Chains A and B, each alone.
Chain A
Amino acid sequence: MKKKKLATVSLAGCFGCHMSLLDIDERILDLVELVEFDRSPINDIKKFTTRCDIGLIEGACCNEANVHTLIDFRKNCDILVGVGQCAIMGGLPVMRNAIMHSDDPLRECLDEAYLNSKYVYNPSNEIPNDPALPLLLDKVYTCPQVVKIDYQIPGCPPSGDMLWRALTALITGTHFQTSYEYELIKYD
């Protein structure tokens, strides 16, 4: 069987989902028999070198760069999979949207993070605004709000077993997400 091409990325995520991918342990040797990693933090390839069969997205979109990256993934991948709660429904990053009960959640979030919190040491009293920093979005957007996502693997993070099962199903073309064992799907 020709090796499938796999790309992965972390947008606004904690890399926990990528860590979980490493949690498939020695099966990673089987995985590299089945797939070739293209753009991914696993091999540090930063741009697509070819069209990919599968793209795994960790994290939500909290800044402009995340949106561009996600659109790039949609363009270059046949199947796009949202991995983890951040990608699917915003997860922890999305807390800045509504949970703060503010009319201007982004402003309040930045003020809290850089100015007001009693644990902050920031002598310049400025919120970072270097032009090199990607522009923050007004709110955090889930991946399906930005591009079409074909499949989702819930969990924070999904377990290594879950990722292994989902990946092998996608690679071998068996129907994805029919009847997993009960304990594999978790939302936390």
Chain B
Amino acid sequence: MNKSVVFKIDGVEVTATPGQTIMEAADEAGIYIPRLCDVEGLDPQGSCRLCTVKVNGRSVSSCTQPVVDGSEVENNTLEIQCYRRDLVRMLFHEGNHLCPICEASGNCELQAMGYRLGISKATKFPYLQPVRPVDASHPDILLDTNRCIHCGRCIRASASVDGKHVFGYIGRGIHRRVGVNAENLAKTDALLEDKAIASETCPVGCIIQKRNGFCTPVGKREFDHEPIGSSIENS
């Protein structure tokens, strides 16, 4: 029995296989739903809430929510885009994001999301300017938690792909940050080759590969010319 699920995203009919998440089905249909904590190859965590959509009027995170036959999903509406804008803004305010000096600039998913959502208006939130540690102990890897957005992608990659559990959360609430399972990064068994360290895992400039920075000229970086999500929309 090969039943498919048919539902609508912003009025467009999408056919999915049962058990797929809304995000997976949307990706296949060429509809981009903004996301930060989700990335291909890792189990969804459902924590950033950027992928929030409304299903029959109720807000859900599309990276974790399975498709439902006959449902009406709202994605690209003004209301939802406003929520997403606020979420991205808050991430900027919660850490120390100095794009002009950041090695991830141009390739950073948070920054790219700011561009895509058109965030350029005066802000209503305070900059928290937290004091957060930088761990440069490892010969090849640098961990700058000033830029961490707590997406947990490094944690999941290290646990499920590398089988090493190098990264984990420390602390709670606003003080939560990503830490390592030893005194510092140098004392862990983290290696440059790990999935957790791969450039596509950390969406921002928090996990940095040393001696590799600013190597792509402006104009050739990932999000210089096309908004994040374009590869899905153009597929």
Contacts and interface: CB of A to CB of B under 8 A. Distances in A.
Interface of A: 82, 85, 88-92, 94-95, 97-99, 101, 139, 142, 144-145, 148-154, 156, 177, 179-180, 182-183, 185-188
B146 interface: yes
Quick one: which of B120, B126, B131, B224 has the most chain A CB within 10 A? B120
Contacts of B224: 183
Nearest to B126: A145
A185 B224 CA distance: 10
B121 A188 contact: no
Contacts of B122: 82, 144, 148-152
Contact of A188 (B100, B118, B226): B100
Q: Is the interface of B mostly helix, strand, loop or mixed?
A: loop
Interface residues of B, number: 30
A98 B115 CA distance: 26
A146 to B, nearest CB: 12
Q: A interface, by DSSP: helix, strand, loop or mixed? A: loop
Given A97-B129, A101-B133, A188-B106, A92 B100 contact: yes
B30 interface: no
Which of A89, A90, A92, A145: most chain B Cβ within 10 A?
A: A89
Contact of A95 (B98, B131, B226): B98
B225 A183 contact: yes
| Most chain B CB inside 10 Å of its own CB: which residue of A91, A151, A152, A188 | A188
Contacts of A185: 115, 118, 120
Contacts of A95: 98, 101
B92 A89 contact: yes
B195 to A, nearest CB: 27
Contacts of B121: 151-152, 177
B200 to A, nearest CB: 20
